[in-house]
Chain A
Amino acid sequence: MRRRRMLTGTVLAAAAAGLSAAPAHAGDATTLDLYPSTTAPGATVSVNTKACGTGETATGDASAVGAGMFTLAPSAHDGEAIGQFKVPPSAQPGTYEIVAKCFRGDKEMAGDLKVILAVAGTQQQPKGRVETGVGGALGPDPVQTAAGVAALAVAAAGGTWLLHRRARGDRI
């Protein structure tokens, strides 16, 4: 009896911890763009956001994946702040939340980084052909065909006319 009560207590405590932790994530309405969003240990990830406005700096935090803090500096591109961090070679596969905070104001952004194990520690490279066409350019061109038919009709009319002339000429 006593043991069961203890178990129940543990479960309840865990559930309570889960509930109190949830709002911290749900509050992140603004996203942080990560390139690539799926990467391998040892790779560099670019981070950018438009949330802070033109010319504004932001502080990024990639400590979830073990990469520490980094700075997002203003860029020439559409009022975006850009930064980057390196995923530690020791990072374990999984999904990590990368967060950033505008230097001015207290706007917070977050984005998910998925770390996967790549073959021999390099990027996974594509293989084989790419399906980039279905042959639509090879189909008939209705406009051109119609023009051709029209030209053939002119040729037929001209031919008929010539034949008529010849027939009339013969009768005289």
Chain B
Amino acid sequence: MRWTSRARPARSARPARGAPRRGVPDAAIATVTVVALVSGIWLVRSGTEGHPPPQPSAAQADARSEGEAPAAPPLPPSPPDRIRIPAIRVNAPLVGLGLTSSGSLEAPPPERKDVAGWYEAGTKPGETGTAVVAGHVDNAEGPAVFYNLGALKRGNTVEMDRRDGSVAVFTVDAVEVYDSRNFPDEKVYGPARRPELRVITCGGGYAKKTGYQGNVVVFAHLTGSR
């Protein structure tokens, strides 16, 4: 911006002396300079800042019952192999997860950034109850499998390939973000009377010392199979 304010008065101060000859290249160079300056500042700023993963808006929060897709009957138990979320272009293999010594859900190995995991000792996706899937939002190198999970909307679908050859199709009911200090265990992991699914990744605010402050949780229920 500074360059234009200097360049313009210079031209207007000498209207009679060869202004038509020099005016056009001057204006072109000034334009290029301004564009380069603005885009350079933007690139450097966003490049050094990094890109926080998308977070769900309040509009995606739980609003039970209204216009919810009808629930499909439960499927026989079968462990899942893959998770697919077409809306955010996720198609990832699944590994089995257990619990940590503190009772929280394990995360998949962080070095395998394109892999998600499911809670093996819990409900199998498609069975009656609450099945749980978790994946990394990022690892030390950059975005990982569930980087865009917070961008999911109500009504999007999550498909799970199961070992018996069937595909369980879930429809998203809500996308929420919870602070780790006040995590609603029962709502996220508690039992359900119909086949439900939770897809979890890191989210909320980020602080250098403590990392991500919470989790993005996608709530979905079974609406079909094939």
Contacts and interface: CB of A to CB of B under 8 A. Distances in A.
Interface of A: 35-39, 44, 46, 48, 75-77, 80, 82, 84, 122-155, 158-159, 161-163, 165-166, 169, 172
A5 to B, nearest CB: 49
A137 B53 CA distance: 7
B163 A137 contact: no
Contacts of B215: 129-130, 132
Interface in B87-135: 96, 98-99, 102-105, 107, 110, 119-124, 129-130, 132, 134-135
Given A76-B165, A124-B99, A130-B107, A144 B212 contact: no
Contacts of A163: 6
The 10 closest A-B pairs by CB, nearest first: A148-B43, A76-B165, A133-B202, A158-B33, A151-B40, A144-B47, A148-B44, A145-B47, A152-B40, A137-B138
* Main DSSP-derived SS at the B contact region: mixed
17 contacts: A44-B77, A46-B79, A123-B121, A126-B122, A140-B49, A141-B50, A144-B43, A145-B48, A146-B47, A148-B41, A148-B47, A153-B40, A154-B32, A154-B33, A155-B40, A165-B26, A172-B17
Nearest to A143: B47
A124 B132 CA distance: 12
Given A35-B79, A140-B48, A129 B214 contact: yes
Contacts of A80: 163
Contact of B185 (A125, A141, A150): A125
B105 A76 contact: no
A129 B3 contact: no
B136 A149 contact: no
Contact of A139 (B79, B142, B165): B142
Contacts of B189: 125-127
Contacts of A44: 77
B123 to A, nearest CB: 7
Contacts, number: 224
A132 B107 contact: yes
Interface size class of B (residues with CB under 8 A): 35 or more
Interface string B19-59: 00010001001101110110111111111111111000000
Given A75-B164, A138-B206, A147-B43, A133 B201 contact: yes
Q: Is the interface of A mostly helix, strand, loop or mixed?
A: mixed
Contact of B137 (A36, A132, A152, A162): A132
Given A123-B123, A165-B22, A159 B3 contact: yes
Contacts of A142: 47
Interface in B200-225: 200-203, 206, 208, 211-212, 214-215
B7 interface: yes
A138 B47 contact: no
B43 A145 contact: yes
Given A136-B140, A152-B44, A129 B104 contact: yes
A138 B6 CA distance: 37
B16 interface: no
Contacts of A169: 10, 14, 17-18, 22
Contact of B3 (A126, A140, A155): A155
A169 B19 CA distance: 10
A107 to B, nearest CB: 20
Contacts of A131: 104, 107, 202, 211
A139 B41 CA distance: 18
Nearest to A166: B10
Given A152-B36, A154-B32, A133 B43 contact: no
